Amino acid sequence: MTRRALSRITLLAVLLIMASVPLSASQFMVQPFDQVARDSRFIVRGQVVDTYSAWDEAREVIFTYATIRVQRYFGETTGPDTLVVREVGGTVDGYTQEAVGFPAIRRGEQVVLFLSNWEDSTDLRIHAYNQGKFLVKHRGNLEVVVEDPVKQGEERLASPNGGRFHVEGNAEGVALTIDELATMIEDARAGNPTRFSREMH
């Protein structure tokens, strides 16, 4: 076994431990990674190039619509260069509605998103809540993915022009490289045991 392989196993093991909490975030059940990957319609790496928020027709829920410029589709799926993702929460005319603990989506972010359809429409949403959103960071020459440390209702600072947020918090924790994540996704969506599962279960 090479040192590189051991390093990879270590990272995956840490990710497994982090994901093994039976119920996490505000009130979410944590799902196995391969299930999240399998059940997602699209898994993309891209940039949030625009967001806007609006009430629904019944004026009960504020949704934020995020335009994602897709740079890469993971797994066997492919799709358009641009996707629009609809998420609960946002600000309209100074009134902010938040779903506490739900994933937030902010203009300018580099992200990997696991996406599925809303139950009542063909609109896309982040699949499995916070398990379906990662931030892309650079560490040296590598692109790595980390969990977004800032969910709705958590620490953030609004910019003077509104609508854009400066993320506070530690995003430098345990990370996988994009290629490692891609391999895990491909394994999961192909119905094969992931290396993640093979090593630790």
Pairing of strands 110-117, 62-73: unpaired
Binding-site member from 42, 74, 114, 129 for other proteins (CB under 8 A): 129
Binding-site member from 68, 104, 111, 128 for other proteins (CB under 8 A): 128
Residue 49 token pair: 């190039």
Size of interface with other proteins, in residues (CB under 8 A): 46
Residue 123 engages other proteins in binding (rule: CB under 8 A): no
Report in angstroms how near the CB of residue 74 gets to other proteins at its nearest.
20
Residue 167 engages other proteins in binding (rule: CB under 8 A): no
Q: Which of residues 80-99 bind other proteins (CB under 8 A)?
A: 88-89, 94-99
What is the distance between the alpha carbons of residues 117 and 99, in angstroms, rounded to a whole number?
Answer: 19
Q: Which of 148, 147, 134, 113 is nearest to 41 (CA)?
A: 113
CB nearer to other proteins: give 61 or 70.
61
Residue 197 engages other proteins in binding (rule: CB under 8 A): no
Residue 156 engages other proteins in binding (rule: CB under 8 A): yes
CB nearer to other proteins: give 54 or 99.
99
Half-sphere exposure of 41 (CA within 13 A, CB side): 14
Residues paired with residue 145 on neighbouring β-strands, in sequence order: 136, 176
The helix/strand/coil state of 21 is: coil
Residue 32 engages other proteins in binding (rule: CB under 8 A): no
Q: What is the DSSP letter of 58?
A: T
CB nearer to other proteins: give 42 or 102.
102
What is the distance between the alpha carbons of residues 53 and 34, in angstroms, rounded to a whole number?
Answer: 32
Q: Are 66 and 46 in contact (CB under 8 A)?
A: no
- Fill in the amino acid letter for 27: Q
Binding-site member from 69, 71, 80, 155 for other proteins (CB under 8 A): 155
- Which residues of this chain interact with other proteins, rule CB under 8 A? 1, 3, 6-7, 9-10, 13-14, 17, 21-31, 59-61, 88-89, 94-102, 119-120, 127-129, 131, 153-156, 158, 174
